[in-house]
Structure 1
Amino acid sequence: MAEEKPARSVDPASHRTRSGRRRAESARSSTPAPTSPPSAQGATRAAARRLARARRRRRTTVEAVAALAGLLALVGYVSWWSEPTPDDQPDPDGLPAVVGRPALPSGSATADAVPGLRPRERSPSPSPSATVVSTPAPPTAPPTLVLSRSDIPATVDLTEAGRRDWLHWGLGGATSPVRKRDGSADLRDLGGRGDRDTWDGNQELFRWRDGAPVDSAGDVADGVYTCGAGNGFRLAVVSDGQPRTATVYLGVWMARGRLDVRVGDDGPRQTLRVEERHTSLSSGVTVRFQAPQGTRVLLTWTVEEAFTPHCGNVGLQAVALR
Structure 2
Amino acid sequence: MPLLDPGARRDYLEPAAVILAGVLAVVVFGLVMHARANSGGQPAEPEPTAAPTATADQIPIPLPSASLPPSTAPVDAISIERVPVAATVDLAAEGTIDWVHWGEQGRFSLERDADGEFAILEGTPTAPRVRHTASPQRFAWSGGEPMAATSGVTSGINTCGTGNGFTVTAPAGTGRNVLTVYVGAISARGDLRIELSTGGEPVTDVLENREPAMTTVAYVISYRASGTGKISVKWITGATFDDKCGGVSLQAATLS
What TM-score, normalized to structure 2?
0.69
Q: Percent identity?
A: 29
Q: Report which of the two has the higher share of helix.
A: 1
Distance 1:148 1:216 in 2: 28
2:161 corresponds to which of 211, 224, 228: 228
- 1:243 Cα deviation (Å)? 0.3
In the alignment, which residue of structure 1 is the partner of 2:142? 209
Aligned counterpart for 1:250 among listed residues 180, 183, 198: 183
Listed as ranges, the matches of 1:23-62 within 5 Å are none
Structure 2 counterpart of 1:141: 74
Give the whole-Å Cα distance in 1 for the aligned partners of 2:194 and 2:148: 31
User: How big is the alpha-carbon RMSD for the aligned residues of Structure 1 and Structure 2?
Assistant: 1.5
Cα distance in 1 for partners of 2:92, 2:198 equals 31
Query: How far apart are the structure 2 equivalents of 1:221 and 1:143?
Result: 35
Per the alignment, residue 284 of structure 1 pairs with 218
Match of residue 168, structure 1, among 92, 95, 101: 101
Corresponding residue for residue 133 of structure 2: 200
Cα deviation for residue 266 of structure 1 reads 2.8
State the partner residue of 1:101.
Answer: none
Q: Which has the higher contact order (CA 8 A, sep 6+)?
A: 2
1:179 aligns to 2:98 (yes or no):
no
CA-CA distance at 1:293 after TM superposition? 4.6
Provide the rounded CA distance (Å) in 1 between the counterparts of 2:173 and 2:185. Answer: 31
> Is the CA contact 1:180–1:210 (under 8 Å) kept in the aligned structure 2?
yes
CA contact (8 A) 1:193 1:230 kept: no
Structure 1: stretches of 5+ with no match in the other structure = 1-137
CA distance in 1, matches of 2:191, 2:123: 17
- Name 1:237's counterpart in structure 2: 170
Task: Please list every run of at least 4 consecutive aligned residues from structure 1 whose deviation after the TM superposition is greater than 4 angstroms.
Answer: none
Q: Does 1:296 align with 2:226?
A: no
**Using the alignment, how far apart are the partners of 1:293 and 1:141 within structure 2?**
8
| Structure index of larger Rg | 1
Q: Which among 235, 249, 253 is matched to residue 315 of structure 1?
A: 249
Give the strand-richer structure, 1 or 2: 2
Distance in 1, matches of 2:106 and 2:237, equals: 21
